[in-house]
Structure 1
Amino acid sequence: MHRKNIRVHPLLKFYLDLSKTNHLHFGYWNEEDALTLENCQRAQERYTDYLIKFIPDGVKNVLDVGCGVGGNALKLQAHNYNVTGICPDPYQGELFKKNTKDQIPFFLTTLKDFETKQQFDLILMSESVQYVPCESSLRKISQLLRKDGYLLALDYFKKDNAKDLPKPSFLPLFSYYLEAAQKLGFKIIKRVDITKNILPTLDYGNEVFYNYIKPVLNCILTVLQVHVRPLYWLLTLFLKIRIKGKTIRQSIKNDIVPLKRETFERYLFYQVILMQKEREI
């Protein structure tokens, strides 16, 4: 296993600490829902209920790729599925085991490095498509699926006009993802665009960031500037350091600041895709 891939994701840890939720995915909102933490948590629960409706009859064994802290896995287990979770984040892994009371098998690993003799009826990728290279991950998924097994992917994808959108790094063009899947032996069974239902999650994230998180960060910087000037200037210099062509300030901004609704609607859409493995590769 490549240990460099086993690490805590700082932004997701921050989100978990802030939200106190068992889910790390967008929510499925109703049109009338107000932008509150309680409604965001309800929308995330509704999202999991929604994805379960896509699971075909006859599925028993499910591999949850990028299982987070166990929200989806627990609901799948409650619906009598045998679930296995994998995730490369140690912090999320500890919470997964705590939340599931060690009753659901968990492996601290990437999809690429996951090894098992078991083959699964269905592989779930709930917002984990964006973290793995497209073709190599589809090949791995094919190996892990039984004959005629299913891949259920829920994530946001790039539209064809978003070829140069910088983040997330592995986020594929939707047209390319479908083409690669079909080339590697998958048949598209069903796909649904749920962009309008997940967009309020972005609206809520932006509201929290600009009304609470950003003012707190600015306050901390102001305190340093007024009371600890040497540390403030060291921090300013540190943020100007360039890594891979970007300043540390730019990298932090790209990771922390939520996408605006307008940017998402222009370049991305959120898809639910159910595919079936038709042949071995």
Structure 2
Amino acid sequence: MSVDEQLEQPCVLNRECAVAAEHLTVATEVTSTGGVKAEPRRRERRRLWQDYALAAGSLLGERFAGIKDLHFGLWQTGDEITLSNLSIAQQRYSEFVIGSLPVESTTILDVGCGNGRFADRLLMAGKCVTCVSPNLLLNRAARELLGNRAVVIDSRFEQMQTANLAFDVILFVESFQYVDMEGAMRKAVSLMRPAGRIVICDFFRRSEMGVSPISGGHAWEDFESRLRENGLFVSKSVDITHNVAPTFDLVNDVFQGIVAPLYAEAITTLEQAHPVLSKIARWTLRRKLQKFQHKYLGGQRTGEAFASFKTYRLVELRHRFTRHDN
């Protein structure tokens, strides 16, 4: 079913969402080489690999560990940081974010919806949800889960085109780090209702701390500057860095206890079984292998490092000036 056909279906939650959905159109401007227009090829390649990693992580996590969510999780003092408890921390995280949304909000745009699990929880909380993501594999999983209860749009948020449609909340749940900050803010402001909110739950870099062993996240100082440029102000900010950080200890333990030994054994086996091929491969891929070993097997990606170099916040943004609906 096409997006237009999906939008013709009535929203099962409320008439307001159904009427709004009738006006939604989506278009992504693509160059002849297949990349998003005006986007540097290097950045586009990185985003494609990020999309792949998210999809792979979702499939592997659900298949082998029973982990259905893509979020870090929210840990409390006294929690045992184990893989078996991760799903509980993720459930707590979802409840925290949904509980932080304005009570009066009805229509939600879930930016970077992943496999649709969070959108499903929003629907169960009585919200009317539209999802947007460029990750086709995860979008397929989201459509299977959500059915006709929500529209899932194949597009980068920054290129999403709408006609006469606005939302109560533009929601970024660990997806803001992947968007172009300036383009995303402009787009979000254009999609907000006059009393609408932008809600971001994600981590940012603390630039004053120097180079982090954990990559990702926009610089917090740049974020604050962009807010002013787009007429936005912070109406709520909750720092949950130390509640999220233990997830990195868990992931680091998995890499140190499982991935590192398997990697070492694979290298040894390759050297013994195919010595010539092993030398060629290790020489050709030496920089990538060194980067992988340093980044993922060096034991530096811990909760302590995350808390030192990042700040993880739930931030609610509002516009400084009253606007009319589109």
Could you tell me the TM-score, scaled by structure 2's length? 0.77
Q: CA deviation at 1:176?
A: 2.5
Q: CA deviation at 1:250?
A: 4.8
Larger radius of gyration: 2
Partners of 1:166 and 1:110 in 2: CA distance: 28
Q: Contact 2:58 / 2:115 at 8 angstroms: preserved in 1?
A: no
Aligned to 2:57: 15
Q: CA deviation at 1:187?
A: 2.3
Once the two structures are superposed, residues 155-198 of structure 1 have per-residue CA deviations (whole angstroms, 9 ceiling, x without a partner) of: 111224146558645x3222331231133121211101001111
**Is 1:61 paired with 2:103?**
no
Q: Contact 1:131 / 1:168 at 8 angstroms: preserved in 2?
A: no
Partners of 1:58 and 1:250 in 2: CA distance: 51
Query: Aligned match of 1:185 in 228, 231, 237?
Result: 231
Partners of 1:215 and 1:260 in 2: CA distance: 18
Secondary structure of residue in 2 paired with 1:100: helix
Once the two structures are superposed, residues 100-124 of structure 1 have per-residue CA deviations (whole angstroms, 9 ceiling, x without a partner) of: 2353211121111111222111011
- Determine which structure has the larger helix proportion and give its number: 2
Aligned to 1:275: 317
Aligned to 2:288: 248
Aligned to 1:24: 70
Could you tell me the TM-score, scaled by structure 1's length? 0.88
Aligned to 1:81: 127
Root-mean-square deviation over aligned CA pairs: 2.3
Q: Contact 1:130 / 1:168 at 8 angstroms: preserved in 2?
A: no
**Is 1:137 paired with 2:177?**
no
The 5 A counterparts of 1:1-281 are 1=28, 2=30, 3-4=34-35, 7=48, 9-20=51-62, 21-117=67-163, 118-162=165-209, 164-165=211-212, 168=215, 171-240=217-286, 247-250=287-290, 252=292, 256=296, 259-279=301-321
Q: 1:272 to 1:213 in 2, by over 3 A?
A: same
Partners of 2:183 and 2:294 in 1: CA distance: 26
State the aligned residue count: 273
Once the two structures are superposed, residues 1-46 of structure 1 have per-residue CA deviations (whole angstroms, 9 ceiling, x without a partner) of: 3444584633323322332133212100122221222211111111
Q: Contact 2:105 / 2:168 at 8 angstroms: preserved in 1?
A: yes
